[in-house]
Amino acid sequence: MDKIKQTVQEGFDRLQGLLFAMIPGDEFRPKDAAELCGLSEEVCRSVFVGLERAGMMTHEHGDRFVRKTLDLQAAQALGSGS
């Protein structure tokens, strides 16, 4: 694996670790996540927006993304296309 791909993969691994460690109510700004994991702020924002769309985060004032409790009924309905 070339150095750039390895560095990007390590950044995603660090971001994944940060996300797995979050509990409902924890929050990150894309800028802070980027500084901690080494990915760009735009990449981190895209990941957070995807998690918001999946119902796992909310986007709050001040560019904060807050981890929320997953609504399993809503997730099941989304997955079934209902």
pLDDT in tens, 28-69: 999 999 999 999 999 999 999 999 999 999 999 999 999 999
For residues 48 and 57, the answer to whether their CB atoms sit within 8 Å is yes
Q: What's the DSSP call for residue 81? A: T
CA distance 71 to 68: 9
CA distance 38 to 55: 25
Tell me, what's the pLDDT at 74? 60
pLDDT at 82 over 90: no
Residue 43, sorted as left (phi over 0), alpha (psi -120 to 50) or beta, turns out to be alpha
25: pLDDT confidence band, cut at 50, 70 and 90? Answer: very high
77: pLDDT confidence band, cut at 50, 70 and 90? Answer: low
- Which domains are present in the chain? 3-80 (1.10.10.10)
Summarised one tens digit per residue, pLDDT across range 3-18 is 778 889 999 999 999 9
What six digits make up the tokens of 45? 């924002």
